[in-house]
Amino acid sequence: MSAQLVAQLRAAMGEGRLAAGERLPSSRALAVLLGVSRTVVTEAYEQLYAEGWLEGRHGSGTYVTEGVTAPMPAPQVVEMRPVRRAAALHEIDLRPGLAWIGALDTPAWRRAWRLASGMPPQQRQDPHGLPGLRQALAEYIRRSRGVTCPVDGLLVTRGATNGLDLLAATVVRPGDRVGVEEPGYSRARAVLSGRGAELVPCPVDEHGLVVDGLPDDLRLVYTTPSHQFPMGGVLPVPRRQALLAWARRNGALIAEDDYDGEFRYDVAPLPALYGLDPEVVVYLGTTAKILTADMGVGWLVGRPDLVAEVALRREALNDRTAVVPQDALRLLLERGDLDRYVRRMRAEYARRREVVVQALDGLPLRGDTAGLHLVVDVAEPVAARAAREAARRGVLVETLDRHHMGPVSASGLVIGYGSAATLAELREGCEIVRTLAL
């Protein structure tokens, strides 16, 4: 939204609609007018200051710089339609992959970062991560996911994707065949192919990965069993057991991405796959969905000997996780703040999910019992048309076809409800989608 505001203001000044020397509203006033956070406006103003479009006058405010508004070709910008309350620069973003951060700015959050900022610089960092955080994470994973892991089997990463990359850099040789869910997570495919793997698409159904028929020559299988991305299936216990038996029989590893496993709304979250067989499963987690991707902290859990190999490879790659976010997360964990926040967010996401399900009434839905997104099960022409028209009306959704690496095997719309949209905006956006998809 900051980028959109920068583009609109730049165009207005370039075309003379904002004259040289004209005073702009304060960041607070403009934020209220547009219905966005003050941070959006502040970042936009800072960018325009840096580019020379704006200047500050001490004690007076923000002004258009003299001499910068001579006639010039207008930049190509997307016209934002005033669909909602003073929201000419605002869209309803219902794309998956985002966490709602509306409740994140708490005294506990600020305290953790303030205390962590006192961490002294480190010339040489343990590639496993800060010892205190590893201990706190091991206890958190045990509480939240029913998994007991030794501290020497845990490595702090920059997120689940970074963990997968480090694992692939350690165990995948160029040309090794690696199974990926189809449809599945495109970033995981990019990471694995970037490490030289030959990607093998493995079908999924309404329950998740189809284990029967997995090739016997795979070195690694990447899976999202707690809430398959993007179809939303939850892998049942018999399939989990069959997958583990397949891995043991073929000497393969399973990379379990538990990206939003803390959030389930019908029953308690299922224990992680890793807990059933730590010898063949590498467990990947992240703070991106429980807190924010900006924290840049995740974890990799596996056999201690394998984790030691990953740590050595990581050191060779000069890959590291910043220490201040690590220590901030340690403080949030040790003081119980993260557990309380996750409980609060589980209730918040349940409310958001209920709003989405009600607004999409009459449409067939998949994967709505867990996670932060669901799928509207409609034919491909309907999905494509609905997504295009929704975007024209200021509502952003994704179609399932973009999550395939090969021929499209499933069609529909992917609706995320972890974005910055308010409950009212979620309802409005989903009602627009419903009218277009019925």
pLDDT tens per residue across span 132-164: 999 999 999 998 888 888 999 999 999 999 999
The answer on 52 and 23 residing in a single domain is yes
- Cα-Cα-Cα-Cα torsion 351, 425, 260, 317, nearest 10 degrees, comes to -160
By CB atoms closer than 10 A (0-12, 13-18, 19+), residue 238 is exposed
User: Among residues 317, 336, 355, which one ends one of the domains?
Assistant: 336
What per-residue confidence (pLDDT) applies to 62? 87
Range of the domain at 184: 107-336
- Is pLDDT above 70 for 45? yes
The answer on 118 and 28 residing in a single domain is no
CATH of the domain at 432: 3.90.1150.10
Contact status, residue 50 vs residue 12, Cβ threshold 8 Å? no
Model confidence at 120, pLDDT cuts 50, 70, 90, reads confident
Please tell me the distance from the alpha carbon of residue 359 to that of residue 390, in angstroms, as a whole number.
15
The answer on 34 and 134 residing in a single domain is no
The answer on 195 and 51 residing in a single domain is no
Overall average pLDDT of the 300-320 stretch = 97
* Residue at 85 is within a domain: no
- Is pLDDT above 70 for 72? no
The answer on 257 and 124 residing in a single domain is yes
The answer on 427 and 307 residing in a single domain is no
* Residue at 99 is within a domain: no
What per-residue confidence (pLDDT) applies to 19? 86
Please tell me the distance from the alpha carbon of residue 6 to that of residue 315, in angstroms, as a whole number.
40
* Residue at 264 is within a domain: yes
The per-residue pLDDT for range 82-117, each reduced to its tens digit, is 334 333 347 899 999 888 888 888 899 999 999 999
- Cα-Cα-Cα-Cα torsion 264, 267, 268, 269, nearest 10 degrees, comes to -40
* Residue at 95 is within a domain: no
Average pLDDT, the chain: 89
User: Among residues 80, 98, 117, which one ends one of the domains?
Assistant: 80
CATH of the domain at 210: 3.40.640.10
Is 185 strand, coil or helix? coil
- Is pLDDT above 90 for 11? no
Model confidence at 69, pLDDT cuts 50, 70, 90, reads low
% pLDDT > 90, the chain:
64
* Residue at 102 is within a domain: no
Contact status, residue 259 vs residue 293, Cβ threshold 8 Å? no
Element (H, E) at 416: strand 413-416
Overall average pLDDT of the 184-188 stretch = 95
Residues β-bridged to residue 19: none
- Is pLDDT above 50 for 431? yes
| pLDDT greater at residue 269 or residue 303 | 303
The answer on 141 and 41 residing in a single domain is no
Please tell me the distance from the alpha carbon of residue 259 to that of residue 266, in angstroms, as a whole number.
18
What per-residue confidence (pLDDT) applies to 70? 47
| Domains: count for the chain | 3
* Residue at 89 is within a domain: no
The answer on 351 and 322 residing in a single domain is no
* Residue at 86 is within a domain: no
The answer on 205 and 232 residing in a single domain is yes
What per-residue confidence (pLDDT) applies to 82? 39
- Is pLDDT above 50 for 80? no
What per-residue confidence (pLDDT) applies to 2? 84
The answer on 266 and 161 residing in a single domain is yes
- Is pLDDT above 60 for 63? yes
CATH of the domain at 45: 1.10.10.10
The answer on 305 and 221 residing in a single domain is yes
Contact status, residue 301 vs residue 274, Cβ threshold 8 Å? yes
- Cα-Cα-Cα-Cα torsion 47, 51, 53, 54, nearest 10 degrees, comes to 50
Look up the pTM and report it: 0.78
The answer on 243 and 210 residing in a single domain is yes
Model confidence at 59, pLDDT cuts 50, 70, 90, reads low
User: Among residues 80, 99, 121, which one ends one of the domains?
Assistant: 80
Q: Count how many Cα atoms sit within 13 Å of the Cα of residue 185 in the half-sphere of its side chain.
A: 26
Of the ranges 55-59, 63-67, 353-357, 433-437, which one carries the lowest mean pLDDT score? 55-59
Overall average pLDDT of the 249-273 stretch = 87
Q: Report the number of secondary-structure helices (H) and strands (E) in the chain.
A: 13, 17
